[in-house]
Amino acid sequence: MMPATHFLLAEAAECLAAGRHNHALILLGKGFMIDPGGEFFNPLADLCRLMERWDDLERFCRERVVHCPGDPWPWYHLAGVSLQRQRFLNAVGELREALRRGPAHKGAWIELGNTWKRLGEIGRAIVCYRRANELEPADERAADNRLFALLFSDRHSADLTALAHREWGRRFGTVPPVSFVPPADDGRIRIGYLSPDLREHSVTCFLEALLRRHDRQRFEVTCYQCSGEEDPVTRRLQGYVDRWRKIDGMDDEEAADLIRKDGIQILVELAGHTAGNRLPLMALRPAPVQATWLGYPHSTGLEAIGFRISDAVADPPGAADQWHTERLIRLPAPFLCYTPPPDAPAAALPLPCSRSGGITFASFNRIDKASPTVLALWRTVLDLLPNSRLLLKSEIFADPEATDRFVKRSSLPKERLIMLGRTPDRHSHLTLYGQVDIALDTFPYNGTTTTCEALWMGVPVISLSGRCHASRVGRTLLESVGLGALVAETGESYVELACSLAGDLPRLSMMRQTLRSTMAGSPLCAGERFAGNMEEAYRAMLKDLSA
């Protein structure tokens, strides 16, 4: 670094510490223009990402490439710009350029894996995650991505997936001694919920009813927010609980100390191996009873977590128990409770097929859930119903190159597809169901929120059931609203159910008119019933601890 620019870096660091990001950006930008090959680039790029200054970041990266052609970092950050602009294949190329210059760049391997996963190419994603983990075996975060991706794969057996989760737990989990924590002075049981997703998110669609319906006379409820993201849903949830703790700025030991000081008796984590999880915090065992629920459709593999909350439909007794390090607590089905969006439009009538002349099938699930198995089944359905079409909704369809790649990979007839990108808000997302006659579930990772949304909008869902929790959630949801007959056991029956329902327009029309009221009166939306079941499970957990 040039001596004349040293003070700029020091002053920028002071500004960052004080939260004066705009001034720090000016200082780092000035230093970079003086010395583009020096130490300013990395903090400047990180700050641009933090401030979402994507045009500036691209400009700085291009300049850095000129002065430091062998540096992998500008290519890594250029991929970030491309992903922000939904240019997914551009990002793949830029990440490969980064790895060509820095084969040991763990972050680039993880981001390349993430990008392949978003494109639905799970096998490629798993290879990238494995390579990242090999580069830094002690980093549990690098292993999280691979475990999560395994759940999307139709090529990995349930036994191998369970083994991978157990191995993660053996490598990264500890089981510290635990002491019994007495109830609060007023006799209430202290429950804590730990999540990075306490905002408008699929998790809160199923958490809200529980928080709202908890018996506050018998339970003291604390939420531990693991991320800084907040919105109106966050503020609504805050009104349901006794305490709300923000721990996104705390390391695991600090957060564990806080949870212990709060006297939490049962700590329930809601993320599993998904982004932003705090499993290393759970490994410190800050509460005497620890459980996992809702946000991850598998065992965590962590011995410090004693229980996983599910039901006998999603996790039938027998093999499911062998795939878990946790003890399975089976609620009366379903194991979750849906809170419908208050701004949902009415179910659209008449049926879309009455206007289009053919059935419109749809899947609004993430495209990474569309495995080769289910893509082939969708192709068969379209072949058997020549006037039908398939509406798919995914972020990748905003990228023409990614769209073309998907169509070629899927072998689906492009002329029969309607491919839509993201919608600006939830209301417009739900309005799209007005174009759908029948929803087709994914496999082996079923939809959850998407299935509930479809049903609420009067659209029946055909689901394929498998052996593991991720492939049995559709069964739990559909059986809970009286639609178990729409659950297939085999690929052939999945196709038969889709074709049969497509040929029964009176039944489709009746479902359109009645599904919402049926669902509202079903166990899937019975918040008070569900909260009572959860609280009974919590009491059983504590009884087990004190026995």
Residues 91 and 120 in one domain: yes
Task: Judge contact between 349 and 513, C-beta under 8 A.
Answer: yes
The Cα–Cα gap between 538 and 530 comes to 12
Average pLDDT over residues 526-532: 98
Residues 95 and 224 in one domain: no
Contacts 24+ apart (CB under 8 A), 279-284: 279/140, 279/144, 279/172, 280/140, 280/172, 280/252, 281/194, 281/252, 281/255, 281/256, 282/194, 283/172, 283/173, 283/174, 284/174, 284/176, 284/252, 284/253, 284/256
Token pair recorded at residue 419: 């491919």
Would you tell me how many other CB atoms lie within 10 Å of the CB of residue 235? 11
User: Phi then psi for 143, rounded to 5 degrees?
Assistant: -80, -25
DSSP helix/strand/coil, 250: coil
Residues 328 and 410 in one domain: no
Packing angle of the helix pair 106-118, 88-101 (nearest 10 deg) = 160
Residues 371 and 482 in one domain: yes
Residues 131 and 210 in one domain: no
Residues 477 and 540 in one domain: no
Q: What is the pLDDT of residues 137-146, one digit of tens each?
A: 988 888 999 9
The enclosing domain of 264 has a CATH number of 3.40.50.11380
The pLDDT, as a whole number, for residue 296 is 99
Q: What is the pLDDT of residues 142-193, one digit of tens each?
A: 899 999 999 999 999 999 999 999 999 999 887 666 666 777 778 899 999 9
pLDDT band for 59, please (50, 70, 90 cuts).
Answer: very high
Residues 115 and 149 in one domain: yes
The answer, yes or no, to whether residue 1 has pLDDT greater than 80, is no
Overall domain count for the chain: 3
Average pLDDT over residues 214-238: 97
Residue by residue, DSSP assigns 301-346 as: --TT--EEEEETTTS-TTHHHHT-SSEEEEESSPSS-----TTPPP
Calculate what percentage of the chain has a pLDDT beyond 90: 92
Residues 194 and 149 in one domain: no
The answer, yes or no, to whether residue 3 has pLDDT greater than 60, is no
Task: Judge contact between 436 and 442, C-beta under 8 A.
Answer: no
**What mean pLDDT, rounded, does the chain reach?**
96
pLDDT band for 299, please (50, 70, 90 cuts).
Answer: very high
Average pLDDT over residues 369-377: 98
Average pLDDT over residues 422-435: 96
Q: How far is CA 118 from the centre of its chain?
A: 12
pLDDT band for 2, please (50, 70, 90 cuts).
Answer: low
Query: What is the residue range of 424's domain?
Result: 352-525
**Residue 20 placed within a domain:** no
User: pTM for the full model?
Assistant: 0.95
Q: What is the pLDDT of residues 65-74, one digit of tens each?
A: 999 999 999 9
Residues 400 and 491 in one domain: yes
The enclosing domain of 479 has a CATH number of 3.40.50.2000
The pLDDT, as a whole number, for residue 178 is 64
Residues recorded for the chain: 547
Amino acid, res. 450: T
Task: Judge contact between 473 and 450, C-beta under 8 A.
Answer: no
**Residue 499 placed within a domain:** yes
The pLDDT, as a whole number, for residue 175 is 66
